Structure 1
């Protein structure tokens, strides 16, 4: 991509990251935690309880995949207008975490009598129930969604038991805080077995948990960065050098489960990525400047595989024309014409 510029030049640019120059005012009620391992609720964790604005895996992925300005916008300690994101699409994953890990906010079924005739939670009573449930830290679900969560839990327990994986609820949602390379970092890890020789685990709900689909998800969502960030923060906080594993589970029946451990080459690149994210975070934090995308017109080429795919199609169609003397489109028209289809005399 043309028009790229070195990040190290960003603090010298006039007005770069201007909206982010002043950190957000501290929230008086927000606890401040020292380096180490803690167990706190998700709301306090996501508001960033570190001694200063800290780097999470989500912010690291945002720094690398978008820009420092996007990371500033998503930081609860830097952006004075930050608000937690609460989407309906998160509900199944949140409830599944609770059911399988035994930690986090509980879930509750919306009474069927409150639903509209089409099953939607659109009535005044249903909306009030949902609002009260969320205010109490609960995830409101329809009865069929609760049944879905219970089916997921049963499948996950069977699969993990077969793999001799025990996710102790007392060791779920462990928060690690540490300073690495002069940057405060935090991680809320789904499950950390007491035995330091065992891996740490992160649970993901998905539509497809086949190994190939998990590989794509790791690439598309930056889960490699998350894995290495969690591993390094836990090591810095405890001295334990642990393997990291993902547990992917499908939300739809049969709710299959796939446990994934990243390979050595992937982890090597992930270490480079997370180190760069920390470097960028530290530079921006010290300079008080959080640049967005570089100015300029960017020339973008499609990846080589996309170009090759078109050239292969073009070659294939040309070969058909040479062999038949007709364009492939004309052949398709002929094949679909009424005279080429048998008419059922009994219709």
Structure 2
């Protein structure tokens, strides 16, 4: 196996992907296939933003169940949402060879033998099948995105799908970061296809999906790989369904700072699990057998409901 030490980066400090090469230095790599990135491309165990978020927000066991390090992992299952999001990203971000990965179905449904044989052939060729409805949806999102001045100005351009790698100084674990776009020296951006485009849904999604951790890891990757500081991480939201509204937000610096701390805590857990080969699920603060309580809101609601019932009975 060759090393990236054997190659020279371009004028931006970026390496071109070389099949079979092992990542063994802090580096940024262009055109790395997603399947390689999500595998184990480094000289040691590696972990990505989504995996760190799973460890932090769920548990080591939830991570391990789908980990490429686990020979008994759950196979990945595509859903309509993941297919739509992946195809939209591929088209919007200008990735080449769309036809190498996707094919538009010529059948409305797969009931006939002919349709079933066609579907099996496409799957055998490693192609993801898109329906006419999904294609129409993608076109609608693309049209809405191009109405936005920041998108036309290049917020999703620059270095697209750039894979960055560095060893964490504390644990030695190889960390992976792959934002949708690095449009300039100071900013990063990621596109999100969402169902809820309103303030509450956006804020809830930011916390539930840990996008601040994703931004934080990009900040750290740029610092370790390019030795410079980022200033902003933009989230470009586009509504999956009509009318395909778009909004662009910047993750608050305080949330990015929190994300750095949360990622490091998850890294420590991951490093310890690699040493012990123990991947526990979530436990309460008191451990097994401890008391469990309803939420404060639920208890207060029950008190109000009891009071209302007592009033009704007294009449």
TM-score bracket for the superposition, by shorter chain length = 0.7 to 0.9
1:133, distance to aligned residue in structure 2 (A): 3.7
Distance 1:300 1:163 in 2: 52
Structure 2 counterparts to residues 89-238 of structure 1, below 5 A: 89=80, 90-103=82-95, 106=98, 107-111=102-106, 114-115=107-108, 120-161=109-150, 164-168=153-157, 171-180=159-168, 181=170, 182-193=172-183, 195-197=184-186, 199-238=187-226
Which protein has the larger Cα radius of gyration, Structure 1 or Structure 2? 1
The answer to whether the Cα contact below 8 Å between 1:62 and 1:71 also exists between their aligned partners in 2 is: yes
Moved more, 279-288 or 241-250: 279-288
Partner of 1:80: 71
Distance 2:219 2:75 in 1: 25
Structure 2 counterparts to residues 221-260 of structure 1, below 5 A: 221-242=209-230, 243-260=232-249
1:268, distance to aligned residue in structure 2 (A): 2.9
The answer to whether the Cα contact below 8 Å between 2:64 and 2:73 also exists between their aligned partners in 1 is: no
Q: Decide whether aligned partners of structure 1 residues 190 and 229 sit closer, same or farther in structure 2, where only a CA change above 3 A counts.
A: same
1:321, distance to aligned residue in structure 2 (A): 6.1
> Whose relative contact order is higher, 1 or 2, with alpha carbons under 8 Å and at least 6 apart?
1
The answer to whether the Cα contact below 8 Å between 1:176 and 1:188 also exists between their aligned partners in 2 is: yes
Unaligned runs of 5+ in 1: 1-28, 326-347
Higher helix share: 1
The answer to whether the Cα contact below 8 Å between 2:189 and 2:236 also exists between their aligned partners in 1 is: yes
The answer to whether the Cα contact below 8 Å between 1:68 and 1:292 also exists between their aligned partners in 2 is: yes
Distance 1:104 1:139 in 2: 15
Question: What do you get for the CA RMSD once the two structures are aligned?
Answer: 2.6
1:135, distance to aligned residue in structure 2 (A): 4.8
The answer to whether the Cα contact below 8 Å between 1:105 and 1:138 also exists between their aligned partners in 2 is: no
The answer to whether the Cα contact below 8 Å between 1:156 and 1:257 also exists between their aligned partners in 2 is: yes
Q: How many residues align?
A: 285
Distance 1:307 1:84 in 2: 40
